[in-house]
Amino acid sequence: MSWQGQILRVNLTKGTAEAEPLNMEWANAYIGERGLGTKYLYENVDPKCDPMGPDNVLIFATGPLNGTMASTSGRYAVLCKSPLTGAIGDSNSGGKFGAFLKYAGYDLLLIEGKADKPVYLHIDDDSVEILPADEIWGTGVWHTEEWIKSRHQNPQLRVASIGEAGENGVLYACVVNDLHRAAGRCGVGAVMGSKNLKAVAAYGTRGVTVDDPVKFMDVVKDTHAKLAASDGREELTEGGTHPMIDMMQEWGGLPTRNFREVQFEGIDKVNPAATTAANANGHTNLITNKACFGCTIACGRIAHIDPEHFTIVNRPEYRHASGGLEYETAYAFGPAVGVDDLDSLTFANYMMNEHGMDPISFGVTLAAAMELFEMGVLTKDDTDGIDLGFGSSEGLAVMAEKTGKGEGFGKELALGSKRLCEKYGHPELFMGVKGQEFAGYDSRALQGMGLGYATSNRGACHLKHDVFGPDMEDISGNGKAAPVKESQDMVSMIDSTGLCLFTTAGWGPEDFVAQLDAALPGDWTLERCIESGERTWTLERMFNMAAGLTAADDTLPPRMLNEPVPSGSAKGKVSELSKMLPEYYSLRGWTENGQPTNETLARLGL
């Protein structure tokens, strides 16, 4: 009921695939998806293992509400030890793959070992095959999906795969499903590639049932209506997440040129208005919006590139429509690198989807390379003759493709910003936390966001907490620790349901709980669900501690701590992390060294 009750364990070294019962004790304690995946990871992986070695495990986890009529019921999580951060890797994606993995009868897919040559996994209900992938190894995600569907004569197969970036070990390679949805962060695609696993294709006829169908349909009717009626939902349908770029520009929190600045003079060329206005050739970037599985919001952008643009003028294969810009891609390929050429941004986004890379990490890594280039540390001799100064539209487009394909200077960019900056003697230019690059919000202009970045278990991330309200009410760090802690626990709970965080545009915590309670056996209260979120958060922390991370890793780059923000609402401020962090540890029930106390662990049943 709501859970399928079984998981699939695949061992690529042995070439075995076996179903086993879902551990119901864990399901009841961790709900599903992110939480349950974290528990399975914790129990199946040595946190000290080499993330790119055969001892790492790759988990695809669905949640109890996946595949149901609850809105946005297509989210699934990919977990492993991250090669980018050395910490827990936990990345989630939309599209339709997750729901169909569950329809095949599995709550979770756990992949162990390493195949001796490239393979892909074909799942069709009880039939699970590990098949040779020689013919698709070395090709992109788009070709891979098409090839697998055609090979199995099943256009309804849903495919999650890696592109060349995952094969080549780009440390922020992602897993892409349904052409342009991705488990984007933490380098989960690099781990998939390290296992010689090209793709997982799933189709299923098992269906998903719920514990109390009458009650569930009543609740779903209400939650659909509530979401439909909310302003936040309407804004997401209309503009996706892209309009955030105008808000951050106005606020002065839009990271520009590797976080040297927080407002971008080229904003009008890369904001939502630019995507709906015709350019000089009469071409308009944005075509329409589309939805992930079960989603009644449909924030996804579908766009196309001006056929006259230099990136594709001689490449008709890229004239088709595909995934368009959302906020993070627009930020990372625009302001972060100082580029204001909308078609270059869109082309770079195509490259991310086709070759399977995280646009945030790529953009911020390129930004660091551009700063090194301006400093003269890098020269054209290093960058394949390409001008990599800030604002280089050519640099963005060319390097996006080179990185995906593992060519030239792209191999350096594949390291991520931290390793690149260390290699060239300027570790201070890495803009991120625990080895993962920042999203599009400046820690000095949004103090709670900074604390969230510093304490996020997967390295810098904007999606593990939600403190925009408090951050915009007060530019200081006062009183930020509590909302950061509380929202981290709530987001952790939401990420464990199988639903999308964006539903919070119209829903409160009680709406998630009502849907869980109707779908699952037992009593699901708000208290129980939030506690589950806190349990997951703490278990993630324990994984990281065991992996060797310490409180010293809960920090921000010197630019955030020492260089005053040059303009905007928080002009002159630096991050107040040193003030917020002790308060945060205390609220979490952790020691001054960021270690969960025995009392805290006991309270959470850990």
Partner 1 sequence: MQKSLLIDPDKCTSCLQCEMACSFEHEGSFNPARSRIKIFEFEHGKRAVPYTCTQCAEAWCVHACPVEALVRNPVTGAVEVKDDVCVGCKVCTIACPFGTVNYNPDTGKVIKCDLCHGDPKCAEACPTDAIVYVDSSWTGLDRMRRWAGHVDTNQSAKA
Binding site for partner 1 (CB under 8 A): 67-69, 96, 99, 103, 142, 156, 178-180, 203-209, 213, 217, 224, 228, 287-296, 298, 302, 320-323
Nearer to partner 1, 1 or 377 (CB): 1
> Long-range contacts: 592-597, Cβ < 8 Å, 24+?
592/551, 593/550, 593/551, 594/541, 594/550, 594/551, 594/554, 595/545, 595/551, 596/538, 596/541, 596/542
Rounded Cα distance, 112 and 56, in Å: 7
Contacts of 17 (CB under 8 A, 6+ apart): 8, 9, 10, 11, 121, 128, 129, 130
Closest contact distance (angstroms) between CB of 358 and partner 1 is: 20
Rounded Cα distance, 336 and 347, in Å: 16
Closest contact distance (angstroms) between CB of 227 and partner 1 is: 9
Q: What is the 3-state secondary structure (H, E, C) of 484-530?
A: HHHHHHHHHHHCCCCCCHHHHHCCCHHHHHHHHHHHCCCCCCHHHHH
Query: Helix, strand or coil for residue 184?
Result: coil
Name the H helices within 548-597: 558-562, 577-588
Closest contact distance (angstroms) between CB of 387 and partner 1 is: 31
Closest contact distance (angstroms) between CB of 208 and partner 1 is: 5
Closest contact distance (angstroms) between CB of 68 and partner 1 is: 5
Nearer to partner 1, 220 or 364 (CB): 220
Closest contact distance (angstroms) between CB of 209 and partner 1 is: 5
Residue 590 per-residue DSSP state: B
Residue 565 per-residue DSSP state: P
> What CA–CA distances, in Å, run from 529 to 32, 509, 536, 537?
11, 9, 11, 13
Name the H helices within 72-138: 97-103
Other Cβ atoms less than 10 A from the Cβ of 468: the count is 18
Residue 165: which of 303, 464, 365, 323 has the closest Cα? 365
Closest contact distance (angstroms) between CB of 291 and partner 1 is: 4
Task: Give the type of residue at 448.
Answer: G
Nearer to partner 1, 95 or 452 (CB): 95
Nearer to partner 1, 295 or 433 (CB): 295
Nearer to partner 1, 18 or 218 (CB): 218
Closest contact distance (angstroms) between CB of 482 and partner 1 is: 36
Closest contact distance (angstroms) between CB of 293 and partner 1 is: 6
Nearer to partner 1, 96 or 464 (CB): 96
Contacts of 591 (CB under 8 A, 6+ apart): 585, 597
564 by Cβ neighbours in 10 Å (0-12 / 13-18 / 19+) ranks as: exposed
Rounded Cα distance, 327 and 300, in Å: 11
Nearer to partner 1, 106 or 438 (CB): 106
Closest contact distance (angstroms) between CB of 95 and partner 1 is: 9
Element (H, E) at 287: strand 286-290
Rounded Cα distance, 569 and 577, in Å: 18
Nearer to partner 1, 322 or 329 (CB): 322
Contact indicator for 8, 17 with CB cutoff of 8 Å: yes
Nearer to partner 1, 95 or 338 (CB): 95
Closest contact distance (angstroms) between CB of 237 and partner 1 is: 9
Closest contact distance (angstroms) between CB of 378 and partner 1 is: 35
Q: In sequence order, what E strands does 297-416 have?
A: 300-303, 322-323
Nearer to partner 1, 304 or 405 (CB): 304
Nearer to partner 1, 213 or 425 (CB): 213
Rounded Cα distance, 555 and 460, in Å: 10
Closest contact distance (angstroms) between CB of 142 and partner 1 is: 8
Contacts of 441 (CB under 8 A, 6+ apart): 248, 253, 255, 449, 462
Name the H helices within 356-446: 359-375, 393-405, 410-413, 417-423
Nearer to partner 1, 231 or 473 (CB): 231
Nearer to partner 1, 229 or 587 (CB): 229
